[in-house]
Structure 1
Amino acid sequence: MELKVPQTLRLEHVELREELYALTKEDNDLGIAARDLMELFYMHAIKEEERVLPALEALPFLAEGKITDSMRFLKDIADDLKGGLYGELFEDHKAIVASLKNIAQSALDQGRKEVVKFVERFILHAQMEEEIFYPAARMTADYFQLLMKCRTDSD
């Protein structure tokens, strides 16, 4: 078994990508801004989905004191997060939010309130990742390493 992004998070990313992709088809300032964001978000989401968010799938198991072989991947996640990925993700978010603000401005100029609501939801998603998911992933990975060390020390 391999750790994966929890389905709720994966579906939220898919939904954001689909809505954003629809905006990229527009032949106006909004479409241009959406295409710029799509490139940023795509690369950022790969980092999250491959190198951070899978840690969250282990969280319920660790809360129950259960350890599986797939959790060994948590050491790599902890190393990545401590090695600069954590800051890199926050920097990505700054660029993503700036791009989202361009989309919101274009949407406001066109009177497209539904797009502004999409932007607001996207920004809240980024904030949730920064405030909850990234720290939880880091703590999960660190906790796993601590458990493994305790097991090794008690042997």
Structure 2
Amino acid sequence: MEFTVNGEKREADVEYDMPLLWVLRDELGLKGTKYGCGVAQCGACTVHVDGVAVRSCQLAAGEAEGSDITTIEGLGTPETLHAVQEAWVEHQVAQCGYCQSGQIMQAAALLDQDPEPSDEVIDIVMSGNLCRCGTYPRIRAAVHTAAKKLQEA
């Protein structure tokens, strides 16, 4: 199967029904996307497929074939962070950090769709991404900060 992953054409010889998460992690070596629950309930595995935030643990590789996939590794670089990543650092969102790649990917997708989300919209959209550390107030603040950064860019 062929995919465009983080702007690069990639191939993987996998079964149609293998979850995209395992293609990214095990076949392509992109470990930033995390396995959390395996049933699309926690959001740790969130990536963008053709610009839409999806749970990669439940998306079959065959359904994503030919798609443009962005993982946390492709959102920004250590030298040039994405505005959401900058805001996460600024607000010290991460505690254990396990859920953060999925949180960041969900927030980036939200801001692509709604550049000035209200608290209510942030809470609704981000509610599918669980954080055991409970950093939800910092996540909301970071989304607002990222929205401002993106508007200034």
- Tell me if TM exceeds 0.5: no
Greater share of strand = 2
TM-score, normalised relative to structure 2? 0.28
Greater share of helix = 1
Computing the radius of gyration from Cα coordinates, the structure with the larger value is 1
